[in-house]
Amino acid sequence: MRLHHILLFCCCIYLMGTPLRAQQIDWISIINYSIPEGSFLNDVDCLDSLRCVFVKSWGIRFSNTVFQTTDGGLQWHYIHKQDTSPIGLPVYHSVAYPTENIIMACGDSGTFVRTTDGGKTWKTSVITPKWQKLLKIQMTTPQYGIIQVDGTYPEYLLATADSGITWDSIGISRPPNWEFGYLENVFAPSPTVFLCSLYWKDSTIIVRSSDRGKTWTYQWNAPRGRDARFYFIDSLNGWMSTGGKTATSALRDIIARTYDGGITWHVQLDSLIPTGWGLSDLSFADSLHGLAVGPEKILRTTDGGKHWRREFMDTVDFFRLRVSYKPGSNGVIVHSLGRVLRYVGHPTSVANVPQISSTFALSPNPVVGGAIPVVSFQLPQRARVRVSLVSVTGEEWLVQPEQEFPAGWQQLPLALGQQPSGLLFLRMVIDGVSFVRPFHLLR
Q: Does 381 lie in the same domain as 305?
A: no
Each residue of 370-390: pLDDT tens digit? Answer: 788 888 887 878 888 888 887
Q: Is residue 354 part of a domain?
A: no
Q: Using CA atoms in the order 65, 71, 75, 80, what is the torsion angle rounded to 10 degrees?
A: -20
Q: Is the peptide bond before 129 cis (omega within 30 degrees of 0)?
A: no
Question: Is 363:378 a contact under the CB 8 Å cutoff?
Answer: no
Question: Is 300:291 a contact under the CB 8 Å cutoff?
Answer: yes
Q: Is residue 351 part of a domain?
A: no
Q: Is residue 236 part of a domain?
A: yes
Would you place residue 285 in the very low, low, confident or very high pLDDT band (cuts 50, 70, 90)? very high
Q: Does 250 lie in the same domain as 370?
A: no
Name 226's Cβ contacts closer than 8 Å, sequence gap at least 6.
Answer: 184, 199, 204, 242, 243, 245, 251, 278
Q: Does 219 lie in the same domain as 147?
A: yes
Q: Does 295 lie in the same domain as 409?
A: no
Each residue of 333-373: pLDDT tens digit? Answer: 998 777 888 888 766 544 343 344 445 677 888 888 778 88
Q: Does 56 lie in the same domain as 81?
A: yes
Q: What is the CATH number of the domain that holds 401?
A: 2.60.40.1930
Each residue of 179-234: pLDDT tens digit? Answer: 888 899 999 999 999 999 998 887 789 999 999 999 999 988 788 777 889 999 99
Asked which of 9-18, 306-315, 320-329 is least confident by mean pLDDT, the reply is 9-18
Q: Count of H helices and E strands in the chain?
A: 1, 38
The answer to whether the predicted template modeling score (pTM) of the entire model surpasses 0.75 is: no
Q: Is residue 412 part of a domain?
A: yes
Q: Is residue 7 part of a domain?
A: no
Q: How many structural domains are present in the chain?
A: 2
**Measured in Å, how far apart are the chain's first and last C-alpha atoms?**
66
Q: Is residue 8 part of a domain?
A: no
Q: Does 46 lie in the same domain as 165?
A: yes
Q: How far is CA 298 from the centre of its chain?
A: 15
In terms of DSSP bridges, do strands 145-150 and 156-160 run parallel, antiparallel, or are they unpaired? antiparallel
Looking at residue 289, its pLDDT comes to 94
Q: Does 385 lie in the same domain as 304?
A: no
Each residue of 307-325: pLDDT tens digit? Answer: 898 888 877 666 789 999 9
Q: Does 290 lie in the same domain as 430?
A: no
- Residue 199 domain boundaries: 13-343
Residue 26 has pLDDT above 50, yes or no: yes
